Homo-oligomer: A and B are copies of this chain.
Amino acid sequence: MDIVTLDFGSGGKKTHELINNLFYKYFGNDILDQQGDSSIINKLNGRIAITTDSYVVDPIFFPGGDIGKLSICGTINDLAVSGANPLYITVGFIIEEGMSIKELEKIVISMAEYAKRCEVKIVAGDTKVVERGKGDKLYINTTGIGVLEDSINITTSRIQVGDKIIVSGTLGEHGLAILCQRQELNFTTKIISDCNPLDKMIRDILNCSSNVKFIRDITRGGLATILNEIAYERGIGMAVYEKSLPIREEVLFICEVLGLDPLYIANEGKVVVIASSDDSDKVLQCMKDNEFGKDAQIIGEVIKDERERVTLKTELGGTRLLAMTENDLIPRIC
């Protein structure tokens, strides 16, 4: 038995074998082990944060990670940027008939590893199998639950003109790593996805300053899209300084070859933070002290602009408008 067949989704013997030999084996914990139709967790103290994401990344294995690592880190990061402490995750698998059980096991191990690392429990799961040609190996939904301390208030409404925009590291790696792997593009330097859990760094940032007003992970649409969303929500402008943008040489080079703009390419292990000008250096240092924030930079500031534009101040002294994306540059990167 080395591939997944439709029987694995029947709810019968094969489903139970899969659940016991794979999911319980690696995900097992006190809550999951007692699961009935729902899992029961104890009372939570505080406001509760909930987020859901389906992962359809193609290919499911890529330099720097796989769909399993991505599905855990992505959901942990969504909780963390809201200021929540990630606690529980549910997992829904949609498997295409014919998928290798070895590959599925690798992915499950990877999910278990990152859940453990972030001290998050996988509390409920579901498996469905669809016929060949009705899926693409594996899609995973993860839904995350976390708790917010009373003092936390991450919201665009706190953003003011003069606040600094900080990114936690180099831009564009995840999307470009996926694209190069998918298209089998062989450049001399391999781009590695930055997919990683940012919960610890974000907790540190929030502990070091109460003037961190907003945090968002830089995913689909890239930095430019996210800044546009914030500008629109808050009715302000954003000025970004090209010379301050942390982008790796090889990312710039490949983007130029392929005609892509790294400001619109997804990361999966970077956040953009908006903090008061006074605290921005402190927050920057706090990021730099973290494993996943070494290349952090202050890249711009919030400006007054009724037209809610995001502008790039180029190294040559010009100004370029960074508009909202119209098209999907690289589909299925998460």
Cβ-defined contact, B48 with A40, below 8 A: yes
Q: Is the CB of A6 within 8 A of B94?
A: no
Which of B7, B41, B45, B46 is the one whose CB lies under 8 Å from A327? B7
B36–A82 contact, CB under 8 A? yes
Contact B130 A136 (CB under 8 A): yes
Closest to A134 in B: B136
Is the beta-carbon distance between B50 and A141 smaller than 8 angstroms?
no
- The verdict on A44 contacting B48 (CB below 8 Å), with A10-B331, A53-B126 known, is yes
Copies in the complex: 2
A92 within 8 A of B: yes
Q: A117-151, CB under 8 A of B: which get 1 and which 0?
A: 00000011110111101111001010111101000
Residues of B within 8 A of A15 (CB): 220
Interface flags for A291-334 (1: CB within 8 Å of B; 0: not) read 00000000000000000000000000000000011111101101
Closest B residue to A7 by CB, please name it.
Answer: B328
Complex Cα spacing A44 to B134, Å: 39
Most B CB within 10 A of own CB, among A38, A81, A155, A325: A38
B328 lies within 8 A of A90 (CB): no
Is A277 close to B, CB under 8 A?
no
Which positions in A face B, CB cutoff 8 Å? 6-7, 9-15, 36-56, 58, 78-79, 81-82, 84, 88, 90-94, 123-126, 128-131, 133-136, 139, 141, 143-146, 148, 154-156, 216-217, 219-221, 225, 266, 324-329, 331-332, 334
Top 6 A-B pairs, shortest CB-CB distance: A11-B220, A12-B325, A10-B328, A52-B90, A141-B141, A143-B143
Given A12-B328, A14-B328, A94-B94, 9 extra CB contacts under 8 A: A6-B328, A9-B331, A37-B51, A38-B49, A41-B50, A53-B126, A58-B134, A94-B139, A128-B139
